[in-house]
Amino acid sequence: MAHTYLVVGLGVSGTSVVDMLTARGEHVLTADDSKPADFTVAYINSSDFSFSSIDYVVTSPGFSPSTPFIASAHAAHVPVMSDIELAWQTHQVQTSASSQEDGQRWIGITGTNGKTTTTEMTAAIMNASHEKAVAVGNIGNPITAAVVDTGVDTMVIELSSFQLHYTDSLELDCAAITNLADDHLDWHGGFDNYAHDKAKIYRRARRVVVYNADDQCVARLAHDAQRTGEIGEQCQLVGFTLHSPSRGLIGVEDGWIINRSALSTRAEKVAQISSFVHLTEPDGTVYPHLLADALCALALALGAGVDEDVAIQALRDFAPSGHRIQTVAVLEGRHGEANIRFVDDSKATNAHAAAASLSTYPEKSVVWIAGGLAKGAHFEELVEAQAHVMKAAIIIGKDQTLMREAFSAKAPDVPLTFIDPHSVSVDLPVMKQAVEAAGQVADPGDVVLMAPACASMDQFVSYADRGDQFAKYAIEWVNTHANK
């Protein structure tokens, strides 16, 4: 018997949900405000809309729990779910109907930062081990298309806190939280709610729970899940650390990755960090957040049964995707001078990620381009901790008050340039102005780092659009100044 689903939000994931439900014969209604649909979101938010004929709501994660249609659905006892929850329910039905005992393996990753890179790394390792693995979920590839693909062996799923909020029955084989810091607090209504939703990834995990041992909140959530019996009896707890690891952890010691976890199958020394060229600056300085992502991915892959040598070689071969610590332009120094580099880290959409990016560089060597949508966050702690690496800062975004206040309180000596949002035009776009301003203060040996600590949607289509524009104008600037 067909059920009636209301699919709210017709982006990439929502459209895929509609396609999957329609293909299996369900009755599908849709709602969106910007694309053709059966209803507008404004209408289903009104008291005129009735949920009496709706069996399930599948919502875009962009709609917060306080959205009126969410409250109305709950009042009518209509389940509200994410595309992740729908895919998992579909997977369970497929598995029960199949003669195969295992079916697809599911690996999930969440956290404030590093989710995408860790997801990509883990998928690369799984593919290197002769699995057919796909990276899906919040990374941009719809999970509902992959779950019905019989050729897929392993789903590596990036999970946002929004998706997890509307996901309740998921049982992952391997689950990880990369880190936790203030983010999306306006959506969740505070950090405790945010952390609670992130922690749902550990519930009912079956093979391995991976946690950041350097993050007290994440470590507590992992151990609480074990203590309260929320994870399977045979599930291993494996932590990762950027320090010397104690028993049960994978970490770093004297330039080596060291495995002292229960997943170790041979000598503790796994590999020299210097052999992972994509995890370091050109001078060999390690990017700590990328190394942490690699350790997390390694733990997940080992938990999934991948051979350690295969996993390490896949990490050596891995290169991060665009907009993550990516050098996009270089003004080469003349007469023995050092270069000026332009580095795109547009994926640093919160203070925690920006701090990790800034912390890689030497004293007073960074011209920092920052600003955008703050998402309820503040920047005093970031500015105070990283002011020593900043030569200057260029502030973009429509609301610059929070950045202005943070520098005034914690680093009043750092020179600031504010790009007036009212001066932006087609002929003089915001990123062109920012790059020009940064170029005026950058000297040989400096890095112009675009790690905004904010979301992008106030002035750009997406973080990718922001990064692409930065690269475009950085290249223009370098070409203009190359022969001067």
Instruction: Count the neighbouring beta carbons within 10 Å of the beta carbon of residue 379.
Output: 25
CA distance 271 to 316: 10
Per DSSP (E only), the strands in 215-357 are 236-240, 249-253, 256-259, 269-272, 326-331, 340-344
- Single out the residue of 87, 85, 81 nearest to residue 20, CA to CA: 87
Q: Answer yes or no: is 4 a known binding residue.
A: no
Q: Answer yes or no: is 154 a known binding residue.
A: no
Looking at 112-184, list the stretches that DSSP marks H as alpha helix, in order from N- to C-terminal side. Answer: 115-128, 143-146, 161-165
Q: Answer yes or no: is 269 a known binding residue.
A: no
CA distance 173 to 286: 31
CA angle 42, 45, 48 (to 5 degrees): 100
CA angle 186, 187, 191 (to 5 degrees): 65
CA distance 247 to 259: 9
Q: Answer yes or no: is 391 a known binding residue.
A: no
Q: Answer yes or no: is 59 a known binding residue.
A: no
Q: Which residues have CB under 8 Å from 364's CB, separation 6+?
A: 388, 389, 390, 391
- Residues making up the binding site for ATP: 111-117
List binding-site positions. Answer: 111-117
